[in-house]
């Protein structure tokens, strides 16, 4: 996958690959979302000289709110509600600005200016060379996607960006940036067609988008997807993430050396970093999915302590698969990475030698599932178990492609 975050394109872009056209024709899937994530990450990799200013968000929100109220008085209350969300996040915004500094931003993201082909190769279009918090660009695109009826893609974008960049701390200020993005986009829509009923309808959808993406306010929960290597954890974690708007935090991605590292001595550091990243998500009022082996009682004790510390309900889903299937999956993984299969298989044997069966967790916190079965057959059991451990019913969103079969 390749991305080009700057303007002149080095390849031909067809109107059919424009993001708004793809969305209208429902031709946006995970490949295109992954392309958007990669392009944003590449853009934001460049530091900016000016520090990010938390106060500027409130000033910009106030100006946009006033303009929206003047152009469409009927939307004044919704605009004021969005502005209030920014005012209540002042402390978090100031802390974030001090911690992450400023990065190069796009400045005026819109679906009409983005091209993404079937393989996810992406061009974000001309940039305004703005500087600030990367969360601003992520939120702008998330609001645009949601206003077009694709909140599911917006959630994939936010979670995928956090996982790709390791920036899970953006969740603490995400609601404020969503509110600002909605106000600014609504103002632009109204200015582009003053007095037009269609423009007012677009502005109304934009102002409603942050509420659809916001934390629900319900008690948070942690779903830990555990099991031996190649048991189907990551596939199941991604599906649960989609169903519950819960970002995935992976121990492999948090591992020193990256997800491709097979250094067995890095496990402690990986788990510590995974919990740190997950804490950022829980602090925003959102649930989280953890993707890790949790092979030892000590690791699972740390998991329970983490959930207790954050007042979160906990469900550990243990993925089980027969040895022949996991070996085939590891051989395929090695082939894709250009590694020797023997490296992954040897690591699997070391993990199995230290594996401590899960017997210490209470039944309401532990659910074994057979990941050789079809995906849709596993999910109802997980949803019922999650409802029991969280003290309320949960219903799965049927977003998996029709005909999805075994977990990989």
Tell me what percent of the residues of the chain surpass a pLDDT of 70: 88
Higher pLDDT residue, 390 or 223? 223
Q: Is 227 left (phi over 0), alpha (psi -120 to 50) or beta?
A: left
190 and 282, same domain (yes or no): no
CATH number for position 330:
3.40.50.300
Number of domains in the chain: 2
Q: What's the CA gap between 387 and 384, in Å, rounded?
A: 5
Over 351-396, what HEC string results? Answer: HHHHCCCCCCCCHHHEEEEECCCEHHHHHHHHHHHHHHHHCCCCCC
Residue 162, pLDDT above cutoff 50: yes
In a domain, 402, yes or no: no
Joined together, the tokens standing for residue 114 give: 């983005």
Residue 134, pLDDT above cutoff 80: yes
Q: What SS3 state is found at 124? A: coil
238 and 378, same domain (yes or no): yes
Higher pLDDT residue, 300 or 194? 300
In a domain, 401, yes or no: no
Sign of the four-CA dihedral 148, 152, 155, 161: negative
Residue 30, pLDDT above cutoff 90: no
227 and 292, same domain (yes or no): yes
Higher pLDDT residue, 284 or 322? 284
Domain that holds residue 117: 3-213
pLDDT of residue 4: 53
240 and 386, same domain (yes or no): yes
In a domain, 302, yes or no: yes
Lowest model confidence (mean pLDDT) among 63-72, 220-229, 381-390? 381-390
Last residue of a domain, which of 162, 189, 213? 213
Average pLDDT, the chain: 85
Last residue of a domain, which of 150, 182, 213? 213
Average pLDDT over residues 155-176: 94
Residue 50, pLDDT above cutoff 80: no
Lowest model confidence (mean pLDDT) among 131-145, 224-238, 264-278, 387-401? 387-401
In a domain, 405, yes or no: no
Query: How do residues 121-132 score in pLDDT, each as one tens digit?
Result: 999 987 777 888
């Amino acid at each position: 996958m390749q991305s080009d975050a700057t303007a002149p394109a080095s390849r031909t872009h067809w109107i059919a690959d424009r993001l708004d056209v793809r969305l209208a024709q429902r031709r946006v899937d995970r490949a295109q979302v992954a392309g958007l994530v990669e392009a944003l990450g590449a853009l934001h990799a460049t530091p900016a000289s000016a520090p990010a200013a938390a106060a500027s968000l409130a000033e910009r929100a106030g100006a946009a709110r006033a303009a929206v109220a003047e152009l469409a008085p009927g939307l004044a209350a919704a605009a004021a509600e969005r502005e209030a969300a920014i005012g209540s996040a002042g402390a978090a915004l100031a802390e974030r600005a001090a911690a992450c500094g400023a990065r190069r931003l796009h400045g005026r993201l819109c679906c009409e200016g983005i091209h993404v082909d079937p393989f996810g190769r992406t061009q974000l279009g001309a940039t305004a060379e703005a500087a600030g918090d990367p969360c601003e660009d992520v939120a702008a695109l998330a609001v645009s996607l949601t206003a077009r009826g694709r909140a599911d893609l917006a959630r994939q974008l936010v979670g995928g960006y956090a996982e790709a960049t390791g920036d899970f701390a953006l969740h603490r200020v995400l609601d404020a940036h969503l509110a600002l993005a909605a106000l600014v986009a609504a103002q632009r829509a109204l200015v582009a067609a003053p007095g037009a009923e269609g423009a007012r309808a677009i502005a109304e959808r934009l102002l409603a988008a942050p509420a659809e993406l916001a934390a629900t306010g319900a008690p948070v929960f942690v779903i830990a997807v555990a099991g031996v290597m190649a048991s189907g954890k990551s596939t199941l974690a991604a599906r649960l993430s989609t169903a519950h708007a819960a970002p995935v935090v992976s121990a492999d991605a948090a591992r020193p050396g990256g997800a491709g590292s097979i250094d067995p001595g890095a496990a402690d550091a990986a788990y510590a970093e995974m919990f740190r990243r997950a804490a950022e998500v829980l602090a925003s009022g959102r649930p989280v999915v953890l993707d890790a082996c949790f092979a030892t009682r000590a690791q699972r004790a740390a998991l329970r302590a983490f959930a207790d510390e954050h007042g979160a309900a906990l469900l550990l889903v243990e993925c089980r698969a027969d040895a022949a299937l996991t070996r085939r999956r590891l051989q395929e993984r090695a082939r894709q990475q250009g590694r020797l299969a023997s490296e992954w298989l040897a690591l699997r044997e070391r993990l199995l030698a230290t594996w401590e069966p899960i017997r210490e967790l209470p039944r309401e916190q532990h659910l074994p599932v057979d990941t050789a079965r079809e995906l849709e057959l596993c999910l109802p059991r997980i949803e019922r178990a999650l409802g029991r451990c969280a003290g309320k019913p949960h219903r799965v969103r049927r977003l998996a492609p029709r005909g999805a079969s075994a977990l990989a």
